[in-house]
Chain A
Amino acid sequence: MELFIYGITNSVTLALIALGFSLTFGISGVANFAYGAFYLLGGILTWVFMNQIGIPYFLSAIISIGMVGLFGFFLYWGLMLRLRGLAVNEVIATLATAIVIIEVLRYLGFSGFTYVLPEFIKGSVQIGKSWVDYQRIFLVGIGIGLIIFLYLFTHKTKIGLSFRAISQNERTAISLGIDSDWTAALSLSFGSALAVVAGLVILPLGSIDTQIGYDILLSALAVGIVGGLESVPGILVASLILGFGQIVVATFFKAQWQTVVTLAAIVIILAVKPSGIFGKYKELEERV
């Protein structure tokens, strides 16, 4: 039973992380490799506001979500916009930004057990024979809620729909009056904010370590590759597979073998169906 619960938690965690990444990519066409860095940055900013400046938790959270969102927006305006069209450089620029953020934070010493974010709800409940933290349940709840929210947002609201329009056919979207630069910048900032939200929910389960900046990106990419970047069902399924796979391996073998699961999954998918479980093989038909 415990296995199941940890498996679900892990899967939802992965799904949360991967969805944020995939969303920005699917929508603006920009693969934001600074995703993990924003996740980390959000967590650290919140910690700093709370513990060094003394702002209460929820306010800190909101401020850091806002700040990172804003940062994502300006990242787009300041940097990406100049490089638009040179797909080459977009990818490199986001990765370079990620590294600057992560390494500077590492240099400033933000690693270790003192950096912990508070749980939303303390205590645990007994399900069956085992104890489960409320935080984990909260996580699953938020995760599912976020997924539903994202679906509704991109399918029902004006902004969300314009996001999707841009990703499907930019020229048409522009001719319909959607400002693609503005929208792309918005979607990047939205994706960044999502990264922070995911971080705030997941980080309390452990402590903050700058290495997370890379690991989170790794997870997001892995889930994206296995499940198919543009497909939400694919990501969900891949999260389940990887999530449970990792927990199973950690329980029955050694904890560090989790990465083997990830690598094996990627290699298998690449060999069998490179575009991912539900990946759409659109490559060829896209651009004729």
Chain B
Amino acid sequence: MPEEVILRVENLTKRFGGVVAVDQVSFELRRGEFLGLIGPNGSGKTTLINLITGFVKPTSGRIYYLNQDITHKPPYHIACLGVARSFQMVRAFHKLPAFKNLIVPLYSPRVRKLGGGKYGERDDMAIDLLDDFGFERDSFVPYKPAGSLPHGYLKRLDLARCMALRPDLLILDELFSGMTMSEVAATLPLIEKFNREGLTIIMVEHRLKELFRVAHRVIVLNFGKKIADGPPKEAMAQEEVQRAYLGTESEG
């Protein structure tokens, strides 16, 4: 039984001056899929995410989410439709306590409509939410200023911030970069669980081993073009993909 297509990207292109960051990329994403988005550095992965989430306007092409045209919509509109994204460079409200970082998504029209948060409840909701991500409720960790937390915690805070929005589509931009093995081992099952519960996920990663364990499908970008699209093993076996990552034989 085919799941519905929730995201459709058609011929998406983005030029920055003379540089083509994203070149005629098209794909469809079904509900419940776990899509890995990979490619060498500079291949346009983050730009593609920025395009989908509305932070950057495309030069040409269209994006449809739940059959609505979101190509030129602003980021907050897209977020309220249920698309959450994490940031490659950790962005948090450094001076605010960790749990207060979640107030913003909890305050959004989306979460308020979905029935969360009456006056005074959001603090507790935030603490509860953080507990699921490894910020022990009874410790002082959730109350520390976000800027004082170690990197791994910040990454998980970013993830919690995304999930606080109650998204239908979660886009993660190099979540595991800078995390230790044990942190990855603690977080990956969590993400897997979300996916099994019905959350559609796009994950940009360089740690391919972990990614391939959970992703059903992989899209490979190189110089802004899509060069492979399919189950991980198949995609990686393609010659062009290997050349993109490893270089040609004469360069080896």
Say if the beta carbon of A1 comes within 8 Å of chain B: no
Q: How far is the CB of A288 from chain B (nearest CB, A)?
A: 5
Closest to B75 in A: A284
Interface residues of A in 252-288 (CB under 8 A from B): 284-285, 288
List A contacts of B57 (CB < 8 A). 284-285
Q: How far is the CB of A192 from chain B (nearest CB, A)?
A: 31
B 37-78 to A, binary, CB cutoff 8 A, 1 in contact else 0: 000000000000010000111000000000000000000000
Closest to A281 in B: B57
Q: How far is the CB of B142 from chain A (nearest CB, A)?
A: 28
Separation of A288 and B56 alpha carbons in the complex (Å): 8
Q: How far is the CB of A169 from chain B (nearest CB, A)?
A: 12
List A contacts of B56 (CB < 8 A). 284-285, 288
Separation of A285 and B57 alpha carbons in the complex (Å): 8
Separation of A285 and B50 alpha carbons in the complex (Å): 9
Closest to A288 in B: B55
Separation of A284 and B55 alpha carbons in the complex (Å): 7
Closest to A284 in B: B55
List B contacts of A284 (CB < 8 A). 55-57
Separation of A154 and B35 alpha carbons in the complex (Å): 46
Separation of A172 and B50 alpha carbons in the complex (Å): 22
Closest to A285 in B: B56
Separation of A105 and B40 alpha carbons in the complex (Å): 61
Closest to B55 in A: A288
Separation of A48 and B57 alpha carbons in the complex (Å): 55
Interface residues of A in 20-59 (CB under 8 A from B): none
Separation of A285 and B56 alpha carbons in the complex (Å): 6
Q: How far is the CB of B33 from chain A (nearest CB, A)?
A: 25
Hey, which bits of chain B sit against chain A, CB under 8 A? 50, 55-57
- Provide a sorted-by-A list of 9 A–B residue pairs whose CB atoms are within 8 angstroms: A284-B55, A284-B56, A284-B57, A285-B55, A285-B56, A285-B57, A288-B50, A288-B55, A288-B56
Known pairs A284-B56, A285-B55, A285-B57 / 6 extra A-B pairs, C-beta < 8 Å: A284-B55, A284-B57, A285-B56, A288-B50, A288-B55, A288-B56
Q: Which 4 A-B pairs have the closest CB atoms?
A: A288-B55, A288-B50, A285-B56, A288-B56
